[in-house]
Structures are given as C-alpha cells and as structure tokens.
Structure 1
Amino acid sequence: MKSVSDITLSSHLKGLAKPQHAPSVSDIGNKFSEALKNSISQVNSAQVSADKAAEQIAAGETKNLHEAMIKLEEADISMRLMVQIRNKALDAYQEVMRMQV
C-alpha cells in the first residue's frame, strides 16, 4: 500500500515556516569574485595560447595553420564575450546608481 503525502494547506504552511539557510552577502560576493577571476584567467590563457600559435606560424616552427587559426578565433570570441559581459555589468551598475532611494 502506498503512503499518501499530506496535501493540506496547513502542512504546506508549516513547511514554509521553517527557517532556511540563506547565503550571506559576503558569500555571494566571494563566489562572484571567484567566478570573475576564473573567467578572466581563462580568457587570458586563450589569448596567450593564440599568441604562441601565431608566433610559431610566423617563425615557421609549425605548418599547422588550421589549429593556429582555431586558437586565434577562440581567443577572439572569448575576448568579445568578456567585453560584452563587462559592458552589461557597467550598464547594470549605472542603472542602480540612477535609482532614487
């Protein structure tokens, strides 16, 4: 025989009354800053990798032009994405600063 869960309003209200652990503002800020640092680090490593690939092609050390172009395009796309994220963050900051309290 299956057990039937209580679907009454009082059981749902009791569930809502339990205090839930909410993350602190500093925790959220730390997580955001870590995510931002990680993404900047990834963009930087893509740029460094693309620069090395371009130098190898220019020096004649490798003939694999396709991989070099792929690395260059990945670096370009990641940089453009980072710039767009920065622009959106600045727009959001400016919007918050324009709000009247």
Structure 2
Amino acid sequence: MSDINLASIGPVSGVKPAADALKPKTAEQGTFSEWLSQSLSEVDHLQQISDNAAQKLISGESKDIHGTMIAMQKSGIALDLVVEIRNKVIAAYEEVKRMQF
C-alpha cells in the first residue's frame, strides 16, 4: 500500500463547525414573535391565493382546475399546521399553569 500525503488535502468548503450550531442566537436572527407574525402572513397569503383561484374557476375566468386544487391544498395544509401549533402552545401553557411551585 502506498503512502498517501494527507497534508495536501485542504479543508472542505461550505461546512460549518458543529460549535457554530451551539452559539446563542443574536438579535439579527429575529425573535419568535417575528417568526410567528411572518408565518401567519404567509398562511394568509396562501389563503388569498386559494380564494382568488377558486373565484376565477367559479366565474369561468380560469379553466385551471389542477392549479386551483393545488392552491387550495397548500392553504389547507398551512392552516392545519397553524392550528396544530396553536394546540401545542395552549397545551404547553396549561401544563405550566398546572405546575406548583
């Protein structure tokens, strides 16, 4: 077996050290409330797209039933996710409320 010179192999680019993942978040990364607000805005936007697509299909302005159904499914899934997140937050709040100090 021949000797391999490992010194000539440089570091892998684009890979961050694991220690970077453990650093605390900075203010630049935003807060939970900002993330939540942005996410709710995105869900609202998906709902509006779905409603517009359905209105165009009903009025005959559009014949794209597949696109309409996809938009409706996207908005439905996004809304289901929001409801599940709300349920988890309420369950966590109730659990904290039941704690005795």
Say yes or no: TM over 0.5: yes
Change (3 A) 1:100 1:57: same
The unaligned stretches of length 5 or more in structure 2 are: 1-6, 8-22
Which residue of structure 2 aligns with residue 90 of structure 1?
90
The unaligned stretches of length 5 or more in structure 1 are: 3-20
Which residue of structure 2 aligns with residue 77 of structure 1?
77
Which residue of structure 1 aligns with residue 44 of structure 2?
44
Change (3 A) 1:54 1:23: closer
* 1:57 and 2:65 matched: no
Which residue of structure 2 aligns with residue 31 of structure 1?
31
| Identity %, equivalent residues | 40
The Cα offsets for residues 27-81 of structure 1, whole Å up to 9 and x where unpaired, read as 6xx6010011011101100000000000000000011110000000000000001
Which residue of structure 2 aligns with residue 99 of structure 1?
99
Q: Over aligned residue pairs, what C-alpha RMSD do you find? A: 1.9
In the TM superposition, residue 82 of structure 1 has moved relative to its aligned partner by 0.3
TM-score of the pair, normalised by structure 1:
0.71
TM-score of the pair, normalised by structure 2:
0.71
In the TM superposition, residue 23 of structure 1 has moved relative to its aligned partner by 6.4
